[in-house]
Chains A and B, each alone.
Chain A
Amino acid sequence: MDIKKTALAGTLESSDIQITLSKGDNGINIDLDSSVEELYGDQIRKVITETLNAYGIDNANVKAVDKGALDCVVKARTMAAAQRALETTDQPDWEVF
């Protein structure tokens, strides 16, 4: 699936993550800024990549600003950004979640 437009989800509050998705043509590229990068950077990248793949997104540029979000929050915010970028719906499909 192709990203139709740049989309954003999440806030810069603590325990949240802000995901910005835009078009890319070289796989999933994640630019991660996290306050817990050393401990959880790889895990956050993994959750974002898996969530995007579940939507059939294989190419995207991802900007992620993390403020200590849990995996479930990373997933939920990535889903919201993906659905907005794909112009499917503004609200995430919580059944998938």
Chain B
Amino acid sequence: MTSIFATGQPQDIPAVLANKDRRAALQQRLVAAHPAMTVVAAKLNIPGPIKNNRAIQRFFTTELLALERDWLTTGQLFYQDTEWLDAGTGPERFYLVKATPQDVKAQTTRFEEGQASHRLFDLDVLVQRAGQVVPLSRADSGQPARRCFVCGRPAKECGRSRRHTVAELQAAVSSLISAALAVEQRRRVRDRLVAFAQQSLLYEVVAWPKPGLVDPVEHSAHPDMSVFTFINSSLSFRRYLEQAAKLGLSEHPADYPLMFKELREFGKRAEQAMFAATNGVNTHKGAVFSLGIMTLAVADSWRRNGRVDLADIQATVKQLLVGLVQDDLQKQAAVDQQTAGELQYRQYGLTGIRGEAQAGYPTVFDHGLPAMLATAGEWNRRIIQTMLALARYTEDSTLVKRAGDPAILEWKNTQVDACLAAGGVTTAAGRAKLAQLEQEFTAKHLSLGGTADLLIVTIFLTLVKEGLADGLSD
């Protein structure tokens, strides 16, 4: 592991002492100006000449979120008064908290002791004593004194005796901060993946025109739902998406079938949440399945590779879904409980979304993604053009269900081919064909529900490829 101390401005003793004076003056002012509040000074104990750089700042600000979360949870009102984030002597922040110093001290001590890396924090709770502003000591609130983070002896003894070399201290600090930053980065990747997943659900529904699907202008093929139903649905299973991302990002045994089993149980709860949000209308059941798998696969692949690798993501999907068609479709379910996909496998031998998924979503990777990555311009244009590319190659079980005959797939292919030949959404002729198709789907009460699920997954992968590829260097 590389040291975090490679960059930064070295500080000397006079600079550190001058900063102590500056801090003492500010604290004096704050305590005097806010007699009803408790002043908390947050800083880090970073031994050695380098006391600030980007890694140290990121560590400082992200870990303090946990302290703020604690205050938010316990209902303690607070605000940040002053921040010296890039001071050479180390990042500092000054809070005003509406609580007694003793209560605040108990919380800050809990924070400092809560995690190994929080040992590096020095949170002073300031009180007025004999005309001077002084930090409340741990002894004041009956807390044990701090321990050295290298050897566990009382920290004051090691500090005064210089028992440990600067190199030894820096190595310990570096590994504590690096470990905390790695955890934080996974948390940020998780949040990004969840946001991308929700964005892809919403992007799909607002794109127009989509024959046989719900868009903001038209939804005659689906009279029981509207774009608003889809918005409600898109936001209803956030927890599931987060579970999928966490499952992939955490260190875990490489037991992919078991991971998929776990995901599917989360997925059942997500379906319930979706139905509750849509008054029982199936908006996103297929998307819950496919987007969950893809979120898990992207997360797992990112954890292993530290970057977006589409081939590896596809390989991960295949590992997750080994035997899916056999397990799901070849066992005989009670006929009245069968899904459209299960029925069509029995009746026509179509493997539907399960076949597509188990094969690693070839339609998405071979047709959808290339189309979307090759289409420049605004999102609506990219999405509609990609929908056509996907529709052409999807064995859409929703379409077959509505038509009651797999021969509809041949008709669909001819129609989409004509639209693509005319240029798709990029030409006036193509758009005219799209409008005509939309009317025909409405008239025949046809739907491209299966295509929509693959479109959502394609948008998701595009957002991941274009938004996560930088490895979150911001």
A interface with B by C-beta (< 8 Å): 10-16, 35-36, 39-40, 68, 70, 72-73, 76-77, 92, 94, 97
Contacts and interface: CB of A to CB of B under 8 A. Distances in A.
A68 B155 CA distance: 10
B24 interface: yes
A16 B134 CA distance: 12
Interface of B: 13-14, 17, 20-21, 23-24, 122, 124, 132, 134-135, 156-157, 159-162
A72 to B, nearest CB: 5
A36 B14 contact: no
Contact of B20 (A11, A72, A92, A97): A11
Contacts of A70: 159-160, 162
Contacts, number: 45
Nearest to A34: B160
A13 B160 contact: no
Contact of B135 (A12, A73, A94, A97): A12
B132 A12 contact: yes
B24 A77 contact: no
Contacts of B162: 70
A28 B135 CA distance: 29
Contact of B157 (A12, A13, A36, A92): A36
Given A36-B157, A68-B156, A16 B14 contact: no
Contact of A77 (B17, B160, B161): B17
Q: Which 6 A-B pairs have the closest CB atoms?
A: A11-B24, A12-B134, A68-B156, A11-B20, A68-B160, A36-B160
A15 B122 CA distance: 12
Contact of A97 (B14, B21, B24, B156): B14
Contacts of B23: 11, 13
Contact of B13 (A11, A12, A68, A73): A73
B156 A13 contact: no
B14 A94 contact: yes
Given A39-B157, A68-B159, A70-B160, A13 B20 contact: yes
29 contacts: A10-B20, A11-B20, A11-B23, A11-B24, A12-B24, A12-B132, A13-B24, A13-B135, A14-B122, A14-B156, A16-B17, A16-B20, A35-B156, A36-B156, A36-B160, A39-B157, A39-B161, A68-B156, A68-B159, A70-B159, A70-B160, A72-B13, A73-B13, A73-B17, A76-B14, A76-B17, A92-B14, A94-B14, A97-B14
B124 A13 contact: yes
A14 to B, nearest CB: 7
A70 B134 CA distance: 20
Contact of A40 (B13, B124, B160): B160
A40 B156 CA distance: 11
Contacts of A15: 159
Nearest to B17: A76
B169 to A, nearest CB: 13
Contacts of A11: 20-21, 23-24
